[in-house]
Amino acid sequence: MSLPALDMDIISSPFRIVGILGVFYGAWKYIEAKRSPLNAIPTVGNSGVLTSYITALKWLINGPELLQEGYAKYPNQPFKIAAISKWVVVLSGKQHVDDIRRAPDEVLSLAEAIAETIQTKSTLGPLDVHPHHEITVRSGVTRNIAGKFDEIRDEIVEAFDEYLPASEDWVTVPAYETVMHIVCRTLNRFFIGVPLCRNPGYRALQEQFTFDVVLSAQIINCFPGFLKPLVGNYLTKVPKRTKQAMEYLGPIIDERIERIEQYGRDDPDLPNDVITWLLDTATHDYHRSKRDIVMRVMLLNFAAIHTTTMTLTQCLYDLAIHPEYVEEMREEAINAVAEHGWSKIAMTKMRKVDSFMKEALRLNSVGSYIMNRKALKDWTMSDGTFIPAGTFIGVASAAMGVDEALFPDARTFRGFRFAEMRQGDGELDSIKHQMVALETDQIVFGHGRHACPGRFLAVNEIKTMFAHILMNYDVQLENGSKIRPPNVTVEGSIIPNQKAKVMFRKRKST
């Protein structure tokens, strides 16, 4: 009769141990929370040791709502929100943006914030040790936009003809997916050229890679630090994708390095593409290895394809529900192209188009919480707020974008808002209020030395595609709906609806 009781004791012992450890962990977290300097920063949502997880779940599902609540409750003040494994401190206002911009990298690190978020060391490798691809973007990529504009335009025409052949009847397509295919082709025409940019397997690889990295990071983040490299190598798809990319790009890289060694960098027949630009900016021997170059090409696609796709998709949704702006933008685009051809200069003349796109992003950006940094050292802000080392911070950019003090009638879509703000610039055509501008009121591409270096390519590509749509198509949402497809949010990210469909037909209106 004693055996069942003994069995019950054996079974219950592990649960008792877990329970005791749970109590000690909870007590430790409670004491740690009470002692944290972050207690001085007000909280949006719950702040208890256990109840904070309720807010963490809401942050995961609907972060922009929490950010807006905090921004309204604590204007121009820091506040914090509970995430699953940490507190995120939220800043806003011009002074806070300037504080982040001025902080040295050894105090506030963008690289560390990214590394921890997407586990770069286990997904992309040690590319952040010496990120010379950033130099490549600032030099080779940006310098070649004008010279390679004909290639950008040519691929846009080819891609639209493939995915959206002009038809007198309405053709319905999935907006996000269609835009992504066109963006991927066009970017890789610029990066790597034909025929690879038109290879279906290569394009599918680049389109899927971002999803694989993000999913892999979520998996890796579930494991302790010492297991992360193993998990990244054996439990994710990234190594497989890297091998596939090596098969596509490896022979091209081998041929390129051999050609430069044989004929020198001044060879007039040397392809002018991202592989050559990466070799130009290489400062270490390993930068010239096939794997390093392949991973940096993949990283550039990772950074560009989906952010560009999200931006153009948001602009497309607004174009469909605001047809009252179409004729003026269409006329502007036609006149600019008539005078300057399809060129970078023509894009700068499209003030109304630029304004419409920037207004679309003001109300539906790709992120509500940007300029993310991790504090590597204790940091005191200009207003005296103390940020302890290890804290993650960011800016409530979307909430700033609908602040009446910054943008009158802020909740209303005014397509030419920024074009009107630029009136009087004359021939100087000030960069202020343009989409590529770095401003503290509306933050799209970050600010300061870590602002997105690829924004000039992205904006020119998006604007060229948008102008192409204006000049060649009529656009509406499926069944002529005027209800904007709702965004999907994950923490601070804002993702345009990926299920919505858009209808195109050959342009009929004048």
CA dihedral defined by 451, 119, 122, 458, rounded to 10 degrees?
Answer: -30
Report d(CA 79, CA 387) in Å as an integer.
11
Please write down the HEC assignment for all residues of 338-349. HHHCCCHHHHHC
| DSSP state letters, 221-243 | TTS-GGGHHHHHHHSSSHHHHHH
Report d(CA 103, CA 381) in Å as an integer.
9
Report d(CA 140, CA 278) in Å as an integer.
8
Secondary structure of the chain: what % helix, strand, coil (to 5)? 60, 10, 30
Q: Is 40 exposed, middle or buried (0-12, 13-18, 19+ CB in 10 A)?
A: exposed
Report in angstroms the alpha-carbon separations of 307 from 84, 301, 371. Answer: 25, 10, 15
Report d(CA 47, CA 92) in Å as an integer.
21
Would the annotation count 184 as a binding residue? no
In the structure encoding, which two tokens stand for residue 371, read together? 């300029």
Instruction: Report the chain's terminal Cα–Cα distance, integer Å.
Output: 94
Report the binding-site residues.
Answer: 452
Report the binding-site residues for heme.
Answer: 452
